[in-house]
Structure 1
């Protein structure tokens, strides 16, 4: 009897033949699992694009309905815009019936709750430098933010606090935010572009040196508030632009927020024992310690060569005539600071490539013409660089701080407008 036939199984196969069959089955199973995963992610990406298209229809509807022809009423941000069930693009979509709660969440993004919900909970997530002023402060007491109860139920806190009589940073406030805001759709893991919510900087002309300067009322960095910018994009302003609407991005898959303000100290959840329970139902939207998503992009920024960071433009006194000219001529150079060239570029670090495909991870974006397109992350850092001149000799920690890993443009000028002035002709009179 041969050594091989000695180990022939009852089915007639030798041990070697059985191992080969098992290996083939394992290989086929692996291929099948891979195909299923790819098919599932492809379906999720398609659903994400459908969600964004639907939001685009909602923006077009809002343009028609709003007196000023705005695409939206503003940012999804309690501190900068007001109560998030009344103000901001998410409230626009939900209240008009243009979107359902699940359609404002990208299914591929593991981050399920927006960092701005912490504002409603009561701990705040921004630097409070662009908060509402004057009569606009009344926006903080509109909607649920000013109500003493919800559906006849209320907490045990101070009624003057609003939020159905729940005090900030309490279990009652957590339950209300989870049940009312998150579950009813005042939540998103898509992040808005700077153009959608702010359009352009407020500027002033200085005849002494012929310069155009940022003219915000605050003296901090950033063009991210009502005192520093023109407010939400309008159809009339977009019509005056010589930038094709197919290059003006409005919305994209959100990245996680900064670690110092977007790690949730609470579980966004509710249960049968909280103050607003009507039955035995319970739900967990995201557990304690989870990352929360960005709400919007930073806007005009530059690479600061000496500090080795992406830095926001100064909101008051920063020179913009060089940016105005190059945006007019479509020949802007990569922006560098620290005795650099006074050029700026839209930071895209609030967006992240979340959709896995054969060519790597990709980012879905909605544009002002209603189209939705995907862009592939070329170097594996999950961010898409529009052209910041990032050096190739930095340390890992420096790259982690910046976000972009190299200077290769991943959003081409023919696909994505990353300047500051959509309609340079609006400033033409300054030079006549």
Structure 2
């Protein structure tokens, strides 16, 4: 016993309790931490998804500024689609080339949420030969030039089709990597048919026609359409500009055929252009007998007016939503209400992949007629 202090009672020493944790207490703490982490994961994933969607929308807004700048300068929003087979040399023609020329690194401004991180147009560069093109398109682009020191300057599309590169192989891939991908000529956004084709060119009998006799009529061909959307068409139209889509998240169009840009063969590629106006019955352009009159309920005008823009090329990349750049410069998220991966704007059939005939984007949300005027 401790000696008794003066005038006081003796002090008694009491052993302190152990500061350690029991196994049960440790297990309880670990369980609580596990529950908290499990509760946190959905919130973290949702925050990441929202961040990716915001980044995607910001890219589209920047593209919108560039497209409007182009329209103010030359009258049209772009020079065409990002499509080598149907438009020509992609480093000189198309909305991607237009924006790259303005200083926008389009190939770096990919939608991070889209499963496709490369355009189907890159597959065209990897596989097409000169015989793949008809007379409607100039696939090589500008003639070779020289720098002041005598160094040749050759359009990569021309270089791919000429000489040893025409056979494909590693050298062709290297040119595509160094002079196309690394120079920002890539995208995973899809252009609307309305932006790059404007409207169908219709002959006297109501069928799709071509301004060039050497080019067969096709919605994909510039000669069968009015060409890229012009600012004057937008200004003259009664359709509000906030209903007219220009660009959107690009849906899957194929699979990459060779390794390029760090991407393995087989990864999904994004389409370049939406499908254009088609019949709701068979997803094809209308076809009429040559003597079909324009007017009347059975006339060709009535047939074309019932077509709808084929927006199956839009990707639902953001937890049931697709970001779409509208002609007023705004970005509108569209909801895939039945989770079938497609946005139905008026197709009553299931053959096109639609789960139901429920309309998810009404005419007062996104314009779906064949052209801005005449229908």
TM-score range, shorter chain: 0.7 to 0.9
Rounded Cα–Cα distance in structure 1 between residues aligned with 2:330 and 2:341: 22
**Residue of structure 2 equivalent to 1:370:** 329
Residue 370 of structure 1 deviates from its aligned partner by: 0.7
CA contact (8 A) 2:81 2:196 kept: yes
Which of 110, 115, 120 is equivalent to 2:120? 115
Answer yes or no: is 1:237 the counterpart of 2:245: no
**Residue of structure 2 equivalent to 1:263:** 255
CA contact (8 A) 2:119 2:186 kept: yes
**Residue of structure 1 equivalent to 2:278:** 301
Answer yes or no: is 1:41 the counterpart of 2:46: no
CA contact (8 A) 2:203 2:209 kept: yes
Describe the superposition over 1:238-278 as per-residue Cα deviations: whole angstroms up to 9, x where unpaired.
11211111100011000110xxxx22221114xxxxxxxxx
1:8-407 matched pairs, under 5 angstroms: 11-13=20-22, 15=24, 18-66=26-74, 69-103=75-109, 105-123=110-128, 131-133=134-136, 137=137, 139-142=138-141, 166-206=165-205, 212-216=206-210, 222-257=218-253, 262-269=254-261, 284=262, 286-304=263-281, 310-314=283-287, 343-356=306-319, 361-390=320-349, 402-407=352-357
Residue 161 of structure 1 deviates from its aligned partner by: 5.7
Residue 98 of structure 1 deviates from its aligned partner by: 3.7
Count of residues paired in the alignment = 349
Residue 171 of structure 1 deviates from its aligned partner by: 1.1
CA RMSD of aligned residues (A): 3.6
Secondary structure, aligned partner of 1:191: strand
Q: Structure 1 residues 243 and 347 mapped into 2: Cα distance closer, same or farther (>3 Å)?
A: same
Describe the superposition over 1:371-391 as per-residue Cα deviations: whole angstroms up to 9, x where unpaired.
111111111112111110025
Describe the superposition over 1:76-123 as per-residue Cα deviations: whole angstroms up to 9, x where unpaired.
1111111110000000000121444312x1111121111111222233
User: If the length of structure 2 is used for normalisation, what is the TM-score?
Assistant: 0.81
CA contact (8 A) 2:70 2:76 kept: yes
Q: Higher Cα Rg: structure 1 or 2? A: 2
Q: Structure 1 residues 214 and 265 mapped into 2: Cα distance closer, same or farther (>3 Å)?
A: closer
Q: Structure 1 residues 96 and 154 mapped into 2: Cα distance closer, same or farther (>3 Å)?
A: closer
Q: Structure 1 residues 12 and 319 mapped into 2: Cα distance closer, same or farther (>3 Å)?
A: farther
Secondary structure, aligned partner of 2:33: helix
Rounded Cα–Cα distance in structure 2 between residues aligned with 1:110 and 1:404: 20
CA contact (8 A) 1:218 1:228 kept: no
CA contact (8 A) 2:208 2:217 kept: no
Unaligned runs of 5+ in 2: 1-17
Q: Structure 1 residues 205 and 100 mapped into 2: Cα distance closer, same or farther (>3 Å)?
A: closer
User: If the length of structure 1 is used for normalisation, what is the TM-score?
Assistant: 0.71
Q: Structure 1 residues 418 and 100 mapped into 2: Cα distance closer, same or farther (>3 Å)?
A: closer
Residue 162 of structure 1 deviates from its aligned partner by: 5.3
Q: Structure 1 residues 346 and 302 mapped into 2: Cα distance closer, same or farther (>3 Å)?
A: same
Secondary structure, aligned partner of 1:203: coil
Rounded Cα–Cα distance in structure 2 between residues aligned with 1:146 and 1:118: 24
CA contact (8 A) 2:189 2:272 kept: yes
Rounded Cα–Cα distance in structure 1 between residues aligned with 2:84 and 2:26: 64
CA contact (8 A) 1:221 1:315 kept: no
Describe the superposition over 1:183-237 as per-residue Cα deviations: whole angstroms up to 9, x where unpaired.
211111000111000001112335xxxxx44323589774121221010000111
Unaligned runs of 5+ in 1: 1-8, 207-211, 270-283, 336-340, 392-397, 426-432
Rounded Cα–Cα distance in structure 2 between residues aligned with 1:314 and 1:42: 44
